[in-house]
Structure 1
Amino acid sequence: MAYDAADDGRRDFHFLYGRWQVAHRRLVARGVGCTEWDAFGGVAFCQGLMGGLCNVDENDLGEYGQGLTFRSFDVERQRWSIYWVDGASGALEPPVHGRFEGGVGRFEGDDACAGRPVKVRFLWEILDPGQARWTQSFSYDAGATWETNWIMDFTR
């Protein structure tokens, strides 16, 4: 039987390969009921590695510096692990894990924000071939409620 990589999810992020203009909206303060957003522009470049099992993107966040995302696909579990590297500290953040279903990628994990434990959720939506959206949300109550704190709109 011929192997079809499209069936297992390893091609899920192929839409992201290449250069993007990015419109960022980031909550000014997290976990304190803030409703004020900071908006700024940036650029991103994503490339696949190892036949699509991994990919990496570099993000230029303008005045906010840089960051790097590394994603790896676990063939056995058919899920992605996504890691963020902060450009200021060089620290590799704890991963989120998940997959695409129904055209939406949902990835969750555990982290800390200002010393508080949080659950982290990334949502990836492919809006059309030249547009995508990434949304980050934190839960400070073990997933009962979520606060969206960063939205990135990608356009070609």
Structure 2
Amino acid sequence: MSENDFDFFHGRWRVLNRKIADIPGRGTEWVEFESESDARPVLGGGANIDTIRAADWEGMTLRQYDPADDVWRIWWASSRAPGKLDPPLEGRFTDGHGVFFGDDVVGGHAVKLRFDWTAGEAPEWRQAFSYDGGQTWETNWVMRFERL
């Protein structure tokens, strides 16, 4: 694991999104839509920022490697929640697969979050929520990236 773990993600991407339409745990209708993403290194390569733009919202992710703790931290902000920076998720890559965990409140309920990243030429990101302390997970958003 190193500050280069997310180097595969630098550049411009077409993003194929598949997402549960409602708050996870309360809905099963999946929606699909496209977006575009642009990711670049910052802070001498020890961090990266990406922006993602869909038809009706924009988001931004900051990922920063902490060499002292040997972990990545990931923060998310979106035009759907102005002025809010979500609590960070923390984790690492092993053999091209990154797993990151965090805690948040969604729809008024405490939730554990998990991000799964699969590195490579066609990366994939998955988000899952757990409402039972991590005993079970519900995948609620999948992004597949195609390089532009």
Partner SS for 2:139:
strand
Match of 2:18 among 20, 25, 30: 25
Count of matched residue positions in the alignment of Structure 1 and Structure 2 = 146
Structure 2 residue 94 is the aligned partner of structure 1 residue 104: no
Q: Distance in 1 between matches of 2:25 and 2:111?
A: 13
Alpha carbons 1:31, 1:140 under 8 Å: kept = no
Alpha carbons 2:73, 2:90 under 8 Å: kept = yes
Partner SS for 1:94:
coil
- For residues 33-67 of structure 1, the C-alpha deviation after alignment (integer angstroms, 9 at most, x for no partner) is 5221010000000000122211000000223x100
Cα-Cα RMSD = 1.1
Alignment of 1:1-150 (within 5 A): 8-63=1-56, 65-88=57-80, 89-126=82-119, 128-129=120-121, 131-150=122-141
1:102 CA drift (Å): 2.0
Q: Distance in 2 between matches of 1:32 and 1:125?
A: 24
- Output the TM-score relative to the length of structure 2: 0.94
- For residues 114-154 of structure 1, the C-alpha deviation after alignment (integer angstroms, 9 at most, x for no partner) is 1100000000002x42x110000000000000011111100
Structure 2 unpaired stretches of 5+: none
Give the aligned residue type for 1:43: E
Fraction of identical pairs, as percent: 40
Partner of 1:4 in structure 2?
Answer: none
Give the aligned residue type for 1:84: W
Task: List structure 1 segments (4+ residues) > 3 angstroms apart after TM superposition.
Answer: none
Q: Which has the larger radius of gyration?
A: 1
Give the aligned residue type for 1:16: F
Give the aligned residue type for 1:86: S
- Output the TM-score relative to the length of structure 1: 0.90
Distance 1:38 1:107, change over 3 A: same
